[in-house]
Structure 1
Amino acid sequence: MSAAAEAPALGLHTDLSNEAYHADKTSLSSSGARKLLPPACPAKFRYEQDQPQTPTKTFDYGNAAHREVLGNGPELVLVDHELWNTDAIRNEVSAIRESGGIPLKRHELDMVQAMAAAIRQHPLAKLLLDPAYGAPEQSGFWIDGPTGIRRRVRFDWLPSTHAGRLIIPDYKTADDASNDAMSRSIAKYGYHMQADWYEDAARAFGLGGEDAELLLIAQEKKPPYLINVVGIPFEDRFIGRAKNRRAIEIWAECTTTGIWPGYGDEPNYVSLPAWSAIRDKETYL
Structure 2
Amino acid sequence: MTTATDIQPGVYDIPADDYHNDPIPGGSLSSTGARKLLPPGCPALYHYEQGQQQTKPKRHLEFGTALHTLALGDGPGLVRIDADSYKTKAAQQAADKARSRGAIPLLPAEMQQVQDMAAALLAHPQAGELLTGGEAEQTYLWRDDETGIWCRARLDYVRPGEIVDVKTTQDVSLEAVIKAIHKWGYHQQRGFYIDGYRAIWGYDPEWKFIFIDKNPPYLITVVDCDVTSALIGEARNRRARHIFADCQRTGIWPAYDQQIWTVPLPAYAEKNDLEEYVK
TM-score by length of 2: 0.92
| Match in the other structure for 1:57 | 59
Kept in 1, the 8 Å contact 2:140–2:197? The answer is no
Letter of the structure 2 residue corresponding to residue 93 of structure 1: A
**Given the superposition, is the C-alpha separation of residues 31 and 199 from structure 1 closer, same or farther in structure 2, using an over 3 Å criterion?**
same
**Partner-residue secondary structure (3-state), 1:81:** coil
Q: Which amino acid aligns with 2:66?
A: A
Cα deviation digits, residues 125-149 of structure 1 (max 9, x gap): 001101xx10101111111111111
Q: Which residue of 2 aligns with 1:42?
A: 43
1:243-262 to structure 2, matched below 5 A, reads 243-262=236-255
Tell me what 1:230 maps to. Answer: 223
Residue number in structure 1 paired with 2:127: 125
State the TM-score, normalizing by the size of structure 1: 0.90
How far off its partner does 1:5 sit? 7.1
Q: Does 1:31 align with 2:17?
A: no
Once the two structures are TM-superposed, the CA of residue 80 in structure 1 deviates from its matched residue by 0.7
In 2 relative to 1, CA 62–7 (structure 1 residues): closer, same or farther, beyond 3 Å?
A: farther
Contact 1:12–1:138 under 8 Å retained in 2: yes
Other-structure match for 2:268: 275
Alignment partners' CA distance in 2, 1:44 and 1:5: 25
Spell out, residue by residue over 1:193-251, the C-alpha distance to the aligned partner (whole angstroms, 9 max, x if none): 011111222211125x34x2321100010100110101110111101111111100110
User: 1:67 and 1:7 mapped to 2: Cα distance?
Assistant: 31
SS at match of 1:204: helix
Q: Which residue of 2 aligns with 1:174?
A: 169
Q: How does 1:8-157 map to 2 (within 5 A)?
A: 8-13=7-12, 15-24=13-22, 26-53=27-54, 54-130=56-132, 133-157=133-157
5+ residue gaps, structure 2, are none
For the 8 Å contact 1:195–1:213, the answer to whether it is kept is: no
Q: Secondary structure at the match of 2:41?
A: coil
Cα separation, partners in 2 of 1:229 and 1:252, compared to 1, 3 Å? same
Between the two proteins, the alignment pairs up a number of residues equal to: 274
Any residues of structure 2 matched to 1:194-209 within 5 Å, and which? 194-206=189-201, 209=203
Deviation at 1:11, TM superposition (A): 1.0
CA contact (8 A) 1:198 1:214 kept: no
Name segments (4+ residues, structure 1) moved above 4 Å: 5-8
* Counterpart check, 1:187 vs 2:182: yes
| Aligned equivalents of 1:5, 1:219: Cα separation in 2 | 38
Residue aligning to 1:218: 211
Read off the aligned partner of 2:102 and give its amino acid letter: G
Alpha-carbon distance in 2 for matches of 1:268, 1:78: 53
Q: Aligned partners of 1:203 and 1:5: how far apart in 2?
A: 21
